[in-house]
Every structure is written in C-alpha cells, then in structure tokens.
Amino acid sequence: MSDQVLHLDDSNFKEQTSEGVTLVDFWAPWCGPCRMQSPIIDQVAENVGSKAKVAKVNVDDSPSVASSYGIQSIPTLLVLKNGNIVQQYVGVQSQEKLMEAINQASI
C-alpha cells in the first residue's frame, strides 16, 4: 500500500477531510472488489500530488463514519471538498475516472 494514502477512522475523519479536496475509499479487508480497487487508489495517490488527499476508511473499524455517510455497499468512493460530498461512486472505479473527479473538484 502506498505511503501516500492516509488511513482515516472515526476519530480523525472530520479533521482530515474538512479542508481541500479528499478522495476517500470506504472498504473492508474481506471485500473482493475492495481489494481490486486498492492498487488503483495507490496509483491515484502517487499521481495526485498536492492537489488532493487520498484516504481509506475501513468500514469494520470505523462504523460511525461509514454510517454518517450512508455507506451501504463497498467499495464506495467519495470525493469531498471542504468536508462536503461533490462526487460519489459505488463499485470499482478506474484511475482515470477518479483523477477526473479530483481535477473537477479542485477547480
């Protein structure tokens, strides 16, 4: 896993996502599609630079955050700008689609 990816949980989520653009991957270790999404998240983190933060939230370890965003299926990916959802995806997404969403949110 890339060291560029932040690991967020119930205690630090709000603080880490309140400013700027953040891509958040809600996942779980037992989820097959989540394991397919993981290397794509790593690639996005390597390519995004200072334009945005890239983070993961393990829904088993952080049920409060997942519940507060109504996460019912994983992987769910949110693009947040200053703590507000600007884009939401359910299921495995391509690096290109995620980079495009980050670029749009950064405008």
Q: How far apart are CA 76 and CA 37, in angstroms?
A: 10
Specify whether domain 5-105 bears CATH 3.40.30.10.
yes
Share above pLDDT 70 across residues of the chain, in percent, rounded to a whole number: 98
pTM listed for this prediction: 0.95
Query: One of 6, 28, 31, 99 is an active-site residue; which one?
Result: 31
**Catalytic residue at 31?**
yes
Q: Where are the domains of the chain?
A: 5-105
pLDDT digits (tens, 9 = 90+) for 76-105: 999 999 999 999 999 999 999 999 999 999
Query: One of 34, 65, 74, 102 is an active-site residue; which one?
Result: 34
pLDDT digits (tens, 9 = 90+) for 51-60: 999 999 999 9
Residue 1 has pLDDT above 70, yes or no: no
Q: How far apart are CA 24 and CA 7, in angstroms?
A: 9
**Catalytic residue at 34?**
yes
Place of tokens 């959802």: 85
